[in-house]
Amino acid sequence: MKKEIIALLLAGGVGSRLSILARLRAKPAIPFGGIYRIIDFTMSNVANSNIDVIGVLTQYKPLSLMEHIDNGRPWDLFGKTRLVEILPPKTGEEVSDWYKGTSDAVYQNLGFIEDFSPDIVLILSGDHIYYMDYNKLKDYHMKKKADVTISLIRVPFEQAHHFGIANLDKKGRIIEWVEKPKKPKSNLASMGIYIFNTKVLKNALMESASKGGVDFAKDVIPLILKKKLKVFGYEFNDYWRDVGTIDAYWNCNMDLLRKNSGLNIEHWNIRTNLFVRGEVGAKPSAYIGKYSKVTNSFISAGCIIEGIVENSILSPGVVVEEGARVIDSVVFHNAVVKKNAVLLKTIIDKNVKIGKRAFIGYGDALPNKILGMNLSTGITVIGKNTILPEGIIVGKNCIISSGIDLSRSRLKKIESGSTL
Protein backbone atom coordinates (compact mmCIF):
# COMPACT_ATOMS: atom_id res chain seq x y z
CA MET A 1 0.00 0.00 0.00
CA LYS A 2 1.71 3.18 -1.21
CA LYS A 3 1.55 6.25 1.06
CA GLU A 4 2.98 9.73 0.59
CA ILE A 5 3.76 10.04 4.29
CA ILE A 6 3.64 7.78 7.34
CA ALA A 7 4.40 8.52 10.99
CA LEU A 8 6.47 6.67 13.57
CA LEU A 9 5.75 7.55 17.18
CA LEU A 10 8.48 6.83 19.73
CA ALA A 11 6.68 5.76 22.92
CA GLY A 12 9.13 3.49 24.70
CA GLY A 13 10.84 5.87 27.11
CA VAL A 14 11.31 5.03 30.80
CA GLY A 15 10.45 8.51 32.14
CA SER A 16 12.66 8.08 35.21
CA ARG A 17 12.40 11.76 36.24
CA LEU A 18 8.66 11.26 36.71
CA SER A 19 9.48 8.77 39.46
CA ILE A 20 6.55 6.62 40.61
CA LEU A 21 4.15 8.06 38.03
CA ALA A 22 6.13 6.12 35.41
CA ARG A 23 7.09 3.16 37.58
CA LEU A 24 4.19 0.95 36.52
CA ARG A 25 3.44 2.40 33.08
CA ALA A 26 5.15 3.90 30.04
CA LYS A 27 5.56 7.67 30.26
CA PRO A 28 3.20 8.38 27.32
CA ALA A 29 0.46 6.37 29.11
CA ILE A 30 0.42 8.63 32.18
CA PRO A 31 -3.00 10.25 32.68
CA PHE A 32 -3.23 13.95 31.91
CA GLY A 33 -5.96 16.56 32.22
CA GLY A 34 -8.50 14.28 33.85
CA ILE A 35 -9.61 12.01 31.02
CA TYR A 36 -6.61 11.99 28.68
CA ARG A 37 -3.20 10.33 28.47
CA ILE A 38 -0.04 12.13 27.41
CA ILE A 39 0.15 10.18 24.14
CA ASP A 40 -3.34 11.39 23.13
CA PHE A 41 -1.91 14.72 22.00
CA THR A 42 0.48 13.28 19.44
CA MET A 43 -2.04 10.66 18.34
CA SER A 44 -4.66 13.37 17.84
CA ASN A 45 -2.21 15.57 15.93
CA VAL A 46 -1.57 12.67 13.55
CA ALA A 47 -5.30 12.08 13.03
CA ASN A 48 -6.09 15.80 12.68
CA SER A 49 -3.33 16.11 10.06
CA ASN A 50 -4.94 13.32 7.98
CA ILE A 51 -1.93 11.04 8.29
CA ASP A 52 -3.50 7.60 8.20
CA VAL A 53 -0.64 5.19 8.93
CA ILE A 54 1.24 5.32 12.22
CA GLY A 55 3.59 2.87 13.87
CA VAL A 56 3.85 3.18 17.66
CA LEU A 57 7.22 1.97 18.93
CA THR A 58 6.83 0.66 22.47
CA GLN A 59 9.24 -0.92 24.94
CA TYR A 60 9.09 -0.01 28.64
CA LYS A 61 5.95 -1.24 30.52
CA PRO A 62 3.89 -1.23 27.31
CA LEU A 63 0.70 -2.99 28.43
CA SER A 64 -1.41 0.00 29.52
CA LEU A 65 -0.25 1.94 26.48
CA MET A 66 -1.17 -0.87 24.13
CA GLU A 67 -4.58 -1.25 25.78
CA HIS A 68 -5.18 2.48 25.46
CA ILE A 69 -4.26 2.68 21.78
CA ASP A 70 -6.12 -0.57 21.04
CA ASN A 71 -6.97 -0.64 17.30
CA GLY A 72 -6.76 3.14 16.78
CA ARG A 73 -10.52 3.58 16.45
CA PRO A 74 -10.79 6.54 18.91
CA TRP A 75 -8.53 8.52 16.54
CA ASP A 76 -10.29 7.26 13.40
CA LEU A 77 -7.16 5.32 12.49
CA PHE A 78 -8.89 2.04 11.77
CA GLY A 79 -10.00 0.59 8.44
CA LYS A 80 -8.78 -0.74 5.12
CA THR A 81 -6.47 2.20 4.43
CA ARG A 82 -6.03 3.56 7.98
CA LEU A 83 -3.78 1.84 10.46
CA VAL A 84 -2.17 2.02 13.88
CA GLU A 85 0.36 -0.73 14.44
CA ILE A 86 2.13 -1.39 17.74
CA LEU A 87 5.83 -2.09 17.10
CA PRO A 88 7.53 -3.61 20.16
CA PRO A 89 11.18 -4.67 20.00
CA LYS A 90 11.76 -8.05 18.43
CA THR A 91 12.74 -9.76 21.67
CA GLY A 92 13.16 -13.46 22.20
CA GLU A 93 16.48 -14.06 20.50
CA GLU A 94 18.95 -11.83 22.32
CA VAL A 95 18.85 -9.01 24.86
CA SER A 96 20.52 -6.90 22.18
CA ASP A 97 17.27 -6.98 20.22
CA TRP A 98 15.76 -4.38 22.58
CA TYR A 99 15.68 -0.82 21.29
CA LYS A 100 18.88 0.88 22.36
CA GLY A 101 17.80 4.41 21.47
CA THR A 102 15.49 6.49 19.29
CA SER A 103 17.21 5.88 15.96
CA ASP A 104 17.84 2.22 16.72
CA ALA A 105 14.10 1.78 17.32
CA VAL A 106 13.32 3.14 13.85
CA TYR A 107 16.23 1.21 12.30
CA GLN A 108 14.75 -2.05 13.63
CA ASN A 109 11.46 -1.16 11.90
CA LEU A 110 12.70 -0.24 8.44
CA GLY A 111 10.58 -3.12 7.19
CA PHE A 112 7.43 -1.40 8.43
CA ILE A 113 8.42 1.74 6.52
CA GLU A 114 9.16 -0.21 3.34
CA ASP A 115 5.71 -1.81 3.47
CA PHE A 116 4.19 1.58 2.55
CA SER A 117 6.92 3.00 0.27
CA PRO A 118 6.39 6.55 1.60
CA ASP A 119 8.12 9.58 0.10
CA ILE A 120 8.67 11.05 3.56
CA VAL A 121 8.62 9.75 7.14
CA LEU A 122 7.52 11.75 10.17
CA ILE A 123 9.28 10.82 13.43
CA LEU A 124 7.42 11.85 16.59
CA SER A 125 7.70 11.64 20.36
CA GLY A 126 4.79 10.49 22.48
CA ASP A 127 5.55 12.44 25.64
CA HIS A 128 4.83 16.09 24.85
CA ILE A 129 1.72 18.25 25.25
CA TYR A 130 1.03 20.37 22.16
CA TYR A 131 -1.10 20.87 19.08
CA MET A 132 0.50 20.90 15.62
CA ASP A 133 -0.76 20.59 12.07
CA TYR A 134 1.94 18.35 10.61
CA ASN A 135 0.85 19.37 7.11
CA LYS A 136 2.45 22.77 7.70
CA LEU A 137 5.70 21.06 8.65
CA LYS A 138 5.47 18.84 5.57
CA ASP A 139 4.75 21.81 3.28
CA TYR A 140 7.74 23.70 4.71
CA HIS A 141 9.95 20.64 4.20
CA MET A 142 8.89 20.33 0.56
CA LYS A 143 9.13 24.07 -0.12
CA LYS A 144 12.72 24.09 1.13
CA LYS A 145 13.48 20.91 -0.86
CA ALA A 146 15.00 19.64 2.35
CA ASP A 147 16.44 16.22 3.06
CA VAL A 148 15.57 16.55 6.74
CA THR A 149 13.53 19.10 8.67
CA ILE A 150 13.62 19.40 12.46
CA SER A 151 10.86 21.16 14.35
CA LEU A 152 12.30 23.71 16.78
CA ILE A 153 10.95 25.89 19.57
CA ARG A 154 12.54 28.68 21.59
CA VAL A 155 13.06 27.79 25.25
CA PRO A 156 14.49 29.89 28.10
CA PHE A 157 18.29 29.95 27.83
CA GLU A 158 18.60 28.48 31.32
CA GLN A 159 16.75 25.37 30.08
CA ALA A 160 18.52 25.04 26.73
CA HIS A 161 21.14 22.61 28.07
CA HIS A 162 18.41 19.96 28.38
CA PHE A 163 17.77 19.89 24.59
CA GLY A 164 19.36 19.44 21.20
CA ILE A 165 20.13 23.02 20.13
CA ALA A 166 20.29 24.34 16.57
CA ASN A 167 21.76 27.43 14.95
CA LEU A 168 20.21 28.49 11.63
CA ASP A 169 21.35 30.62 8.74
CA LYS A 170 19.11 33.30 7.22
CA LYS A 171 17.37 30.74 5.00
CA GLY A 172 16.48 28.49 7.93
CA ARG A 173 19.12 25.88 7.23
CA ILE A 174 20.76 24.28 10.27
CA ILE A 175 24.44 25.19 10.31
CA GLU A 176 25.25 23.97 13.81
CA TRP A 177 23.75 21.28 16.02
CA VAL A 178 24.75 20.43 19.59
CA GLU A 179 23.02 17.87 21.78
CA LYS A 180 22.54 19.18 25.35
CA PRO A 181 25.32 21.80 25.25
CA LYS A 182 26.83 22.98 28.52
CA LYS A 183 27.01 26.54 27.17
CA PRO A 184 24.32 26.89 24.49
CA LYS A 185 24.82 29.53 21.79
CA SER A 186 21.14 29.43 20.85
CA ASN A 187 17.83 28.70 22.52
CA LEU A 188 16.26 27.00 19.48
CA ALA A 189 15.53 23.57 20.91
CA SER A 190 14.55 20.37 19.17
CA MET A 191 10.97 19.26 19.82
CA GLY A 192 11.80 15.65 18.98
CA ILE A 193 9.88 15.98 15.72
CA TYR A 194 11.74 15.10 12.50
CA ILE A 195 10.63 14.75 8.91
CA PHE A 196 12.92 12.78 6.57
CA ASN A 197 12.98 11.95 2.92
CA THR A 198 12.71 8.17 3.11
CA LYS A 199 15.88 7.35 1.19
CA VAL A 200 17.89 9.76 3.34
CA LEU A 201 16.46 8.25 6.51
CA LYS A 202 17.18 4.68 5.45
CA ASN A 203 20.76 5.40 4.41
CA ALA A 204 21.48 7.45 7.54
CA LEU A 205 20.07 4.80 9.87
CA MET A 206 22.06 2.02 8.22
CA GLU A 207 25.31 3.99 8.32
CA SER A 208 24.74 5.18 11.88
CA ALA A 209 23.94 1.65 13.06
CA SER A 210 27.11 0.32 11.43
CA LYS A 211 29.07 2.77 13.59
CA GLY A 212 27.18 1.94 16.78
CA GLY A 213 24.86 4.94 16.64
CA VAL A 214 21.50 4.55 18.38
CA ASP A 215 20.08 8.07 18.80
CA PHE A 216 18.72 10.66 16.37
CA ALA A 217 19.99 13.74 18.19
CA LYS A 218 23.41 12.38 19.16
CA ASP A 219 24.22 10.22 16.15
CA VAL A 220 21.99 10.53 13.09
CA ILE A 221 21.60 14.30 12.82
CA PRO A 222 25.36 15.02 13.22
CA LEU A 223 26.11 12.34 10.61
CA ILE A 224 23.70 13.91 8.11
CA LEU A 225 25.06 17.39 8.71
CA LYS A 226 28.61 16.18 8.06
CA LYS A 227 27.44 14.96 4.66
CA LYS A 228 26.30 18.51 3.80
CA LEU A 229 22.75 17.34 3.20
CA LYS A 230 19.99 19.94 3.38
CA VAL A 231 18.81 20.03 6.99
CA PHE A 232 16.34 22.80 7.83
CA GLY A 233 14.77 24.03 11.03
CA TYR A 234 11.02 24.65 11.27
CA GLU A 235 10.34 27.15 14.04
CA PHE A 236 7.17 26.40 16.00
CA ASN A 237 5.67 29.29 17.96
CA ASP A 238 2.65 27.83 19.74
CA TYR A 239 2.13 25.90 22.98
CA TRP A 240 4.47 22.94 23.54
CA ARG A 241 5.62 21.40 26.81
CA ASP A 242 7.99 18.59 27.63
CA VAL A 243 6.40 16.97 30.69
CA GLY A 244 9.46 14.94 31.62
CA THR A 245 9.69 16.03 35.27
CA ILE A 246 7.17 16.06 38.11
CA ASP A 247 7.24 19.86 38.26
CA ALA A 248 6.75 20.21 34.49
CA TYR A 249 3.93 17.66 34.54
CA TRP A 250 2.11 19.41 37.40
CA ASN A 251 2.56 22.84 35.82
CA CYS A 252 1.27 21.63 32.47
CA ASN A 253 -1.85 20.26 34.13
CA MET A 254 -2.31 23.60 35.89
CA ASP A 255 -2.09 25.33 32.49
CA LEU A 256 -5.48 23.80 31.75
CA LEU A 257 -6.87 26.02 34.52
CA ARG A 258 -4.89 29.17 33.72
CA LYS A 259 -6.40 31.75 31.41
CA ASN A 260 -4.36 32.49 28.29
CA SER A 261 -1.84 29.72 28.99
CA GLY A 262 -2.11 28.57 25.38
CA LEU A 263 -3.23 25.06 26.36
CA ASN A 264 -6.72 24.72 24.91
CA ILE A 265 -7.87 21.11 24.61
CA GLU A 266 -11.40 22.02 23.54
CA HIS A 267 -10.18 23.78 20.39
CA TRP A 268 -7.45 21.24 19.65
CA ASN A 269 -9.83 18.32 19.02
CA ILE A 270 -7.87 16.01 21.30
CA ARG A 271 -9.29 12.51 21.25
CA THR A 272 -8.86 9.65 23.71
CA ASN A 273 -9.91 6.12 24.46
CA LEU A 274 -12.28 6.39 27.42
CA PHE A 275 -12.40 2.63 27.98
CA VAL A 276 -10.64 1.62 31.20
CA ARG A 277 -9.80 -2.03 31.76
CA GLY A 278 -11.88 -3.58 34.54
CA GLU A 279 -14.68 -1.03 34.29
CA VAL A 280 -18.04 -1.83 32.71
CA GLY A 281 -19.89 0.89 30.84
CA ALA A 282 -19.51 4.65 30.93
CA LYS A 283 -19.33 6.49 34.22
CA PRO A 284 -22.30 8.67 35.18
CA SER A 285 -22.10 12.45 35.31
CA ALA A 286 -20.20 14.00 38.21
CA TYR A 287 -22.16 14.63 41.39
CA ILE A 288 -21.54 17.95 43.15
CA GLY A 289 -23.09 17.98 46.63
CA LYS A 290 -25.30 20.74 48.00
CA TYR A 291 -22.72 22.00 50.48
CA SER A 292 -19.63 21.38 48.37
CA LYS A 293 -17.59 24.10 46.66
CA VAL A 294 -15.73 23.72 43.36
CA THR A 295 -13.56 26.60 42.10
CA ASN A 296 -11.51 26.77 38.88
CA SER A 297 -11.23 23.02 38.56
CA PHE A 298 -11.72 20.20 36.04
CA ILE A 299 -14.10 17.55 37.37
CA SER A 300 -14.46 14.38 35.28
CA ALA A 301 -17.45 12.08 34.90
CA GLY A 302 -18.19 9.78 37.83
CA CYS A 303 -16.67 12.07 40.48
CA ILE A 304 -18.53 12.59 43.74
CA ILE A 305 -17.76 15.91 45.39
CA GLU A 306 -19.05 16.64 48.89
CA GLY A 307 -16.10 18.77 50.02
CA ILE A 308 -14.02 21.64 48.59
CA VAL A 309 -12.04 21.46 45.34
CA GLU A 310 -9.94 24.44 44.29
CA ASN A 311 -7.67 24.81 41.27
CA SER A 312 -7.43 21.05 40.77
CA ILE A 313 -7.93 18.35 38.14
CA LEU A 314 -9.86 15.21 39.03
CA SER A 315 -10.00 12.13 36.81
CA PRO A 316 -13.11 9.91 36.55
CA GLY A 317 -14.42 8.27 39.70
CA VAL A 318 -12.68 10.45 42.30
CA VAL A 319 -14.50 10.85 45.62
CA VAL A 320 -14.00 13.93 47.84
CA GLU A 321 -15.95 13.44 51.06
CA GLU A 322 -17.58 16.06 53.26
CA GLY A 323 -15.16 18.52 54.83
CA ALA A 324 -12.23 17.36 52.68
CA ARG A 325 -10.21 19.95 50.73
CA VAL A 326 -8.36 19.34 47.47
CA ILE A 327 -6.24 22.35 46.47
CA ASP A 328 -3.76 22.79 43.60
CA SER A 329 -3.75 19.05 43.03
CA VAL A 330 -3.98 16.42 40.27
CA VAL A 331 -5.95 13.32 41.27
CA PHE A 332 -6.09 10.20 39.09
CA HIS A 333 -8.96 7.74 38.60
CA ASN A 334 -11.00 6.34 41.50
CA ALA A 335 -8.97 7.93 44.30
CA VAL A 336 -10.85 8.60 47.56
CA VAL A 337 -10.24 11.56 49.85
CA LYS A 338 -11.98 10.88 53.16
CA LYS A 339 -13.75 13.34 55.47
CA ASN A 340 -11.78 16.42 56.56
CA ALA A 341 -8.59 15.33 54.77
CA VAL A 342 -6.49 18.00 53.01
CA LEU A 343 -4.53 17.70 49.76
CA LEU A 344 -2.28 20.64 48.98
CA LYS A 345 -0.23 20.62 45.75
CA THR A 346 -0.34 16.84 45.48
CA ILE A 347 -0.35 14.36 42.60
CA ILE A 348 -2.27 11.20 43.49
CA ASP A 349 -2.22 8.11 41.28
CA LYS A 350 -5.12 5.70 40.67
CA ASN A 351 -7.06 3.96 43.45
CA VAL A 352 -5.33 5.81 46.30
CA LYS A 353 -7.21 6.16 49.59
CA ILE A 354 -6.51 9.17 51.82
CA GLY A 355 -7.73 8.64 55.39
CA LYS A 356 -9.88 10.99 57.45
CA ARG A 357 -8.18 14.17 58.68
CA ALA A 358 -4.96 13.34 56.80
CA PHE A 359 -2.95 16.39 55.66
CA ILE A 360 -0.85 15.95 52.51
CA GLY A 361 1.51 18.79 51.56
CA TYR A 362 2.17 20.20 55.02
CA GLY A 363 5.20 22.17 56.20
CA ASP A 364 8.36 23.55 54.61
CA ALA A 365 9.29 22.80 51.00
CA LEU A 366 12.54 20.94 51.65
CA PRO A 367 13.87 19.30 48.45
CA ASN A 368 13.37 15.58 48.12
CA LYS A 369 16.37 13.78 49.59
CA ILE A 370 16.66 11.45 46.57
CA LEU A 371 15.50 13.55 43.60
CA GLY A 372 16.94 16.82 44.95
CA MET A 373 16.14 19.83 42.77
CA ASN A 374 14.05 17.63 40.48
CA LEU A 375 11.46 17.66 43.27
CA SER A 376 11.79 20.91 45.20
CA THR A 377 8.76 23.10 44.42
CA GLY A 378 6.45 21.64 47.07
CA ILE A 379 4.73 18.86 45.10
CA THR A 380 4.08 15.55 46.87
CA VAL A 381 3.41 12.41 44.81
CA ILE A 382 1.51 9.34 46.02
CA GLY A 383 1.73 6.13 44.01
CA LYS A 384 -0.99 3.87 42.67
CA ASN A 385 -3.09 1.74 45.08
CA THR A 386 -1.54 3.31 48.19
CA ILE A 387 -3.54 3.68 51.41
CA LEU A 388 -2.78 6.47 53.89
CA PRO A 389 -4.25 6.22 57.39
CA GLU A 390 -6.49 8.53 59.35
CA GLY A 391 -4.76 11.63 60.70
CA ILE A 392 -1.38 11.15 59.03
CA ILE A 393 0.64 14.26 58.10
CA VAL A 394 2.75 14.14 54.94
CA GLY A 395 5.15 16.96 54.10
CA LYS A 396 6.05 18.63 50.83
CA ASN A 397 8.27 17.17 48.09
CA CYS A 398 7.55 13.66 49.35
CA ILE A 399 7.23 10.47 47.32
CA ILE A 400 5.14 7.60 48.65
CA SER A 401 5.57 4.54 46.49
CA SER A 402 2.84 2.48 44.86
CA GLY A 403 0.95 -0.23 46.69
CA ILE A 404 1.89 0.75 50.24
CA ASP A 405 -0.77 0.20 52.92
CA LEU A 406 -0.06 2.38 55.95
CA SER A 407 -3.49 1.94 57.46
CA ARG A 408 -2.15 -0.44 60.14
CA SER A 409 1.06 1.48 60.68
CA ARG A 410 1.76 3.62 63.73
CA LEU A 411 3.41 6.18 61.48
CA LYS A 412 1.89 9.61 62.16
CA LYS A 413 4.10 11.94 60.16
CA ILE A 414 6.24 11.82 57.03
CA GLU A 415 8.68 14.72 56.90
CA SER A 416 9.12 16.99 53.88
CA GLY A 417 11.57 15.65 51.33
CA SER A 418 11.06 12.01 52.33
CA THR A 419 10.70 8.99 50.05
CA LEU A 420 8.83 5.98 51.30
CATH number at residue 175: 3.90.550.10
**288 and 238 inside one domain:** no
Residue 146 within a domain? yes
Residue 186 known to bind ligand: no
Tell whether 357 and 412 lie within a shared domain: yes
Other C-beta atoms within 10 Å of 286: how many? Answer: 17
Q: Is 183 annotated as a binding residue?
A: no
The mean pLDDT of the chain is 93
The annotation status of 103 as a binding-site residue, yes or no, is no
Q: Which has the higher per-residue pLDDT, 80 or 2? A: 2
Share of the chain above pLDDT 70, in %: 96
Identify whether 106 is part of a domain.
Answer: yes
Asked whether residue 269 is assigned to any structural domain, the reply reads no
Tell me if 368 sits within 8 A of 355, measured CB to CB: no
Task: Tell me the one-letter amino acid at 288.
Answer: I
| pTM: predicted TM-score of the whole model, two decimal places | 0.94
Instruction: Calculate mean pLDDT across residues 347-370.
Output: 96
Of the listed ranges 5-19, 135-149, 152-166, 170-184, the least confidently predicted one is 5-19
Domain co-membership, 76 together with 143:
yes
- Give the model confidence (pLDDT) of 269-316 as tens digits: 999 998 766 554 567 899 999 999 999 999 999 999 999 999 999 999
Identify which has the larger pLDDT, 206 or 90.
Answer: 206
Tell me if 164 is assigned to a ligand binding site.
yes
Tell me, what's the pLDDT at 92? 47
Of 31-40, 79-88, 134-143, 204-213, which range is least confident? 79-88
Q: Is the pLDDT of residue 333 over 50?
A: yes
Helix or strand run (H / E) with residue 242: strand 240-242
pLDDT of residue 80: 80
Instruction: Give the mean pLDDT of 401-409.
Output: 92
CB-based contacts of 322, cutoff 8 Å, min separation 6: 289, 291, 306, 307, 339, 340
Same domain, 62 and 211: yes
Average pLDDT over residues 401-413: 92
Residue 263 lies in a domain: no
The enclosing domain of 360 has a CATH number of 2.160.10.10
Q: Where are the beta strands (DSSP E) in 88-215?
A: 120-125, 128-130, 148-154, 164-168, 174-179, 188-197
Number of domains observed in the structure of the chain: 2
Residue 99 is labelled as binding a ligand: yes
Would you say 394 and 361 are in contact if contact means Cβ atoms under 8 Å apart? Answer: yes
**Residue 86, helix vs strand vs coil:** strand
Report yes or no: 165 and 178 within 8 Å, Cβ to Cβ: yes
Backbone angles phi, psi at 170, to 5 degrees: -65, -20
User: What does the alpha-carbon distance between residue 63 and residue 209 come to, in Å, rounded to a whole number?
Assistant: 28
Q: Which domain holds residue 107?
A: 5-255
Cα–Cα distance, 357 to 346 (Å, whole number): 16
Whether 275 is in a domain gets the answer no
